[in-house]
């Protein structure tokens, strides 16, 4: 009996040492990999992982609704970050801190998301008014550069159009553009067109349900939310991945039409294609988001921020605005 107990204890001792040795080996390997790639930030970006978000902002009661706002940095204009579907201030990865090095930047949790209480059924215009009231309650002043990722692009456009006198630039990061429908402008199989539009309608319903949004009213607000003439930075993933094999025959025409339609959002625009990136460009290629915002800040003529030169490959662009209108193909470097 005693011998069996000793054997079990010995086995436990050796197993515990083995686990510790494996853990130590993995830790050493991880440390070497982090150093090899240039530090924790680069390691997280290369592995498409966001940094942990620490909620250091403030919660204000605005119109009876507890609303979370995270502002950091100094300078003007103030950069406003609008996150995608169901996400808030935590969805921007390294972007806020990088921007805060040269300019004031604010991210928030929309009502019903994260640390903010719900506001009930609402529209994009309702959210814009609430965001503006929250900024005022926090003592944040314009001018503003508005940045929207994914669904946040809808909110950013409505905010920019509503408070146009205070907005000096807009950046849309792989935005959701329900009103940009290239299939309606290209000669193609009607069944394919209908299938694409049906998928769009399904996505709209998902958006409405997830964010308690009055989508019909929001679509009308978006239709009237012109940002034409405002400096506009567009950062998208490679579009050929968005069309499956069914669309092969008309893919090139669809992409060309899409480029024309997104360019028509503002006569003063720049289009960047983020290669080697998923939809979460702010996690995978944060430097592209930061550079786009810094260009808007620099073009605004206010005191904050400088544009940092990168090694991204650029394709020829056409001139004619505050900076050349055109596009950049941003490949991965580093």
Instruction: Give the least confident one: 72-86, 103-117, 319-333.
Output: 319-333
In this structure, whether the domain defined by 58-330 belongs to CATH 3.40.395.10 is answered with no
Instruction: Give the least confident one: 191-195, 241-245, 250-254, 319-323.
Output: 319-323
- pTM for this predicted structure: 0.80
Using CA atoms, how far apart are residues 287 and 282, in angstroms rounded to an integer?
A: 8
Sorted by where each begins, the domain ranges of the chain are 2-37, 58-330
The predicted structure's pLDDT at residue 53: 79
Could you read off the pLDDT of 126-173 as tens digits, one per residue? 999 999 999 999 999 999 999 999 999 999 999 999 999 999 999 999
**C-alpha angle 237-325-328 in degrees, rounded to nearest 5:** 35
Nearest CA among 208, 186, 211 for reference residue 196: 186
Mean pLDDT confidence for 196-225 = 96
**Pair type for strands 269-274 and 167-173:** unpaired
Q: Which residues pair with 104 in a beta bridge?
A: 78
Nearest CA among 309, 302, 307 for reference residue 78: 302
DSSP letter assigned to residue 8? H
Q: Mapping DSSP to helix (H, G, I), strand (E, B) and coil, where does residue 273 land?
A: strand
Could you read off the pLDDT of 296-313 as tens digits, one per residue? 999 998 755 444 444 343
Q: Decide: 213 and 192 in contact? Cβ < 8 Å.
A: no
Could you read off the pLDDT of 58-101 as tens digits, one per residue? 999 999 999 999 999 999 999 999 999 999 999 999 999 999 99
Using CA atoms, how far apart are residues 163 and 144, in angstroms rounded to an integer?
A: 9
The predicted structure's pLDDT at residue 162: 98
């Amino acid at each position: 009996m005693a011998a069996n107990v000793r054997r079990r204890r010995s086995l436990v001792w050796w197993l515990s040492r083995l686990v510790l040795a494996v853990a130590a080996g993995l830790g050493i390997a991880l440390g070497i990999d982090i150093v090899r790639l240039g530090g924790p930030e680069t390691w997280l970006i290369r592995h498409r992982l966001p940094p942990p978000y620490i909620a250091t902002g403030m919660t204000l009661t605005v119109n009876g609704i507890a609303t979370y706002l995270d502002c950091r940095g100094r300078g003007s204009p103030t950069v406003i970050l609008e996150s995608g579907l169901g996400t808030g201030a935590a969805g921007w990865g390294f972007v806020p801190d990088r921007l805060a090095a040269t300019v004031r930047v604010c991210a928030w949790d929309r009502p019903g998301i994260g640390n903010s209480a719900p506001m009930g059924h609402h529209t994009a215009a309702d959210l814009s008014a609430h965001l503006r009231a929250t900024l005022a309650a926090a003592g944040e002043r314009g001018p503003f550069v508005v940045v929207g990722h994914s669904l946040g692009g809808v909110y950013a456009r409505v905010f920019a159009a509503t408070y146009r006198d205070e907005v000096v630039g807009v950046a849309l990061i792989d935005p959701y553009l329900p009103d940009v429908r290239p299939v309606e402008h290209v000669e193609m199989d009607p069944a394919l067109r209908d299938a694409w539009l049906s998928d769009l309608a399904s996505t709209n319903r998902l958006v409405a349900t997830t964010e308690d949004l009055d989508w019909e009213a929001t679509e009308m607000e978006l239709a009237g939310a012109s940002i034409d003439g405002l400096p506009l930075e567009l950062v998208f993933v490679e579009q050929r991945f968005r069309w499956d094999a069914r669309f092969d025959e008309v893919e090139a025409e669809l992409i060309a039409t899409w480029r024309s339609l997104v360019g028509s959002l503002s006569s003063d625009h720049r289009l960047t294609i983020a290669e080697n990136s998923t939809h979460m460009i702010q996690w995978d290629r944060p430097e592209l988001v930061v550079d786009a915002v810094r260009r808007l800040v620099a073009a605004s003529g206010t005191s904050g921020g400088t544009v940092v030169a990168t090694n991204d490959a650029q394709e020829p662009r056409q001139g004619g605005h505050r900076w050349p209108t055109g596009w950049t193909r941003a490949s991965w470097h580093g």
